[in-house]
Structure formats: structure tokens, C-alpha cells
Amino acid sequence: MQFGVFDHLDFSGEPFAEQFESRLKMAEAYDRCGLYGYHLAEHHGTTLGAAPSPNVFLSALAQRTKRIRLGPLVYVLPLYNPLRLIEEIAMLDHLSNGRLMIGVGKGASPIEARFCGVPDEEIGPRFEEARECLMRGLTRDRLDFQGRFYRFDDVPLRMRPLQQPRPPLWYGLNRHETLGWAVANDVNVVMLALDPQARVLADAYRAEWKRAGKPEGALPLIGVSRHVVVADTDAEASALARSAYARWIASFERLWTESGINIRQLIPGLSKTYPESWDDLVAIGNGVAGSPETVLRFARKTIDATGCNYLASWLAFGNLSAPQVIRSAELFSKHVMSAFV
């Protein structure tokens, strides 16, 4: 069982220089506490994400940490020139001394893709082509690719990643159709799904892995992500979480609202995953705020229910301060992570 952190790096209300420094201090604490990985979201034109270039922030984070693995969850591949991304991944893998994780995906918001000049109908095809370029370029000395959107003719790749044959892959798993690709490429996955859907997907991944004839001991990490706040008492943690979640959910919806779209009407199931209040989030099992004992019970229940072997907690969100998040991480490490050793 492993534990990590997922971070939108959503706007906290601090000046940006102060927010970035706060997040770097949090990452130093995650490193000290023995967390396995730090996963960073990519967003554009929205208060949901202050890291539109994940590699810029991760390169700073690589210099402030020593052991924790680092990576985007995800690179929004339709928005990238694949050649440049291949080269930046190689750079970042060396800058982090081989701690880079590569998360790939289409992106969650067509509005953000349109900001970058990518129309809705091109998101999927661009993702497929960019992913293929990336897989080729990370494992070869030269890049050849002839597609609809990207064309590379025998381009030399002078820098190779430190991790060979490439850094580990990650993906946000939410449907069965992507299981074949994930298993074939030994991809680690993180699910936002709740139980029972999370358990269905986790079991399907294991079944596909077995059908592929791959060794059980080499099974990638199969994770779920939950909002988590730990404090000395349930009351203290809940008060922090309610305020922080209210700010986070406002950022989550803001871009859609500004575009004149009611995202809860557009995606009816959204309220079942990310309701409007913290108490409702807790009620559906998608988050916890409490003492170490309360959070340990939640972690055990979540792991048993989903069958996951990785829990990626959102320890920092909304207006939670660096001292509050660092204290939360320390309590989580001492009382929750240690129970699974």
C-alpha cells in the first residue's frame, strides 16, 4: 500500500509568489513524511489551477525535495507539441534524479482546449497522436511520425530520460475502454470514482492484467483520490475543511459559470461526486476531515471498499494554509500511513 498527494494548485487567495512558496514548503513536508508521489493538475484560464505549465513548477519542486516522486496528473496532451514535451520530460527526469512520473490525458475541460485553439472535435484525435509520439520519442533515439496533426521526420533525440526505458506512466482511469492500453503499457492509474464504481474498475484492471499473463508482483499502482484534512480533533479538521472546500468548489465551477454554463445541469452525475458542500462530500465517502483516528478509519474503509493499493489525498485545497497542510501531512504520516506498513 502506497500513499500520495494530488494537487490542483487552485488559487488560495495568496499572492502567487507566496502561494507557490507555500506549496513548495508543503512538498518538503510530504517528502519528509515519506509520501510516495506528488501529482499536479494542469489547467488554463481558471482559478482551479495555478500551474498551467506543470513542468515549471515541478522543476522547482524537484530542487526542494529528495525522495518523493513527481509528476503531472495529467499533461493535457492535445495542447502540446510532442517533440518539445519529450525533450522537457527528459530534462525534468534528470533534474529530479529519476523521480519523474508521466501522467497523460485529454484534459477535463473543452473550454480550456478552445482557449488554446483546439476545437472540441480535435481533442480526442490529437490526444491519440500526441500519446503515440510521446511513447515513441521516450524510448528511441530518433522520432519519426506522420499523422494528421503532428509530423516528425527522423528528428534526433539527443537527451534520453534518466529512467530507462522511460519514466513510469500514469492515467486518470474512469472507464473500461482504456484498460487495454493501460495494462499493455504498465500504466499506474488514479480513479476519482466512488464505490462501487471504483471497485469495479480496480477489479477489471486486475483481471485484464491477469489475462495479459503479467506477473501479479509487477501490478502497477491502482489508486483513488479523496479530499483529506487531518487535525488534532474532528471539530478542528471539519471547520478547516468546510471553508477550504467552499473555495475549491467555487474554483471548480467558475470557468463554466463565466461561460454561461451550469455544469451541474450539463453533467448530472457531478453532484454525486463533487457536491456543493463539504458535509455532503463526506456523506458520499469522497472526503474526510477529522482526528488521526477518524482518518485512519476512513482510509481503511476506502481501501477495503475500492480494492486500491494507492491513496492519493488532496491535502492542500482552497484556503488551507501551509502550516495547516503540513500539520495534516505529519499526522497522516504518523498515524495513518504507519498503520499500513
Residue 206 lies in a domain: yes
Cα angle 40, 125, 45 (rounded to 5 degrees) comes to 40
Residue 104 lies in a domain: no
Tens of pLDDT, residue by residue over 242-259, are 999 999 999 999 999 999
Q: Give the pLDDT confidence score for residue 229 in this predicted structure.
A: 98
Residue 86 lies in a domain: no
Domain count, the chain: 1
Tens of pLDDT, residue by residue over 133-166, are 999 999 999 999 999 999 999 999 999 999 999 9
Residue 146 lies in a domain: no
Residue 232: band (very low, low, confident or very high) from pLDDT cuts 50, 70, 90: very high
Q: Give the pLDDT confidence score for residue 102 in this predicted structure.
A: 98
Residue 273 lies in a domain: yes
Residue 270: band (very low, low, confident or very high) from pLDDT cuts 50, 70, 90: confident
Q: Give the pLDDT confidence score for residue 246 in this predicted structure.
A: 98
Residue 339: band (very low, low, confident or very high) from pLDDT cuts 50, 70, 90: very high
Mean pLDDT confidence for 177-193: 93
Query: Among 90-99, 116-125, 258-267, 311-320, which is the least confidently predicted range?
Result: 258-267
CATH classification at residue 311: 3.20.20.30
Tens of pLDDT, residue by residue over 320-330, are 999 999 999 99
Mean pLDDT confidence for 263-288: 92
**Residues facing residue 311 across a β-bridge:** 3, 224
Q: Give the pLDDT confidence score for residue 267 in this predicted structure.
A: 84
Q: Give the pLDDT confidence score for residue 223 in this predicted structure.
A: 97
Residue 88 lies in a domain: no
Q: Give the pLDDT confidence score for residue 44 in this predicted structure.
A: 97
Q: Give the pLDDT confidence score for residue 87 in this predicted structure.
A: 98
Please state, rounded to an integer, the average pLDDT across all residues of the chain. Answer: 96
Tens of pLDDT, residue by residue over 19-68, are 999 999 999 999 999 999 999 999 999 999 999 999 999 999 999 999 99
Mean pLDDT confidence for 123-139: 97
- For residue 22, CA distances in Å to 73, 244, 324 come to 20, 15, 11
Q: Which amino acid is at 49?
A: G
Q: Give the pLDDT confidence score for residue 177 in this predicted structure.
A: 83
Residue 174: band (very low, low, confident or very high) from pLDDT cuts 50, 70, 90: confident
Percent of the chain at pLDDT above 70?
Answer: 100
- For residue 147, CA distances in Å to 75, 78, 130, 185, 255 come to 20, 13, 9, 21, 32
- How many C-alpha atoms does 157 have within 13 Å on its Cβ side? 26
Q: Which amino acid is at 31?
A: D
Percent of the chain at pLDDT above 90?
Answer: 94
| Residue labelled with grid coordinates 525533450 | 87
Q: At what angle do helices 197-211 and 292-306 cross, to 10 degrees?
A: 50
Domain that holds residue 279: 2-73+169-340
Q: At what angle do helices 82-95 and 54-64 cross, to 10 degrees?
A: 10
Residue 330 lies in a domain: yes
Which of 223, 227, 228, 224 is CA-nearest to residue 332? 228
Residue 111 lies in a domain: no
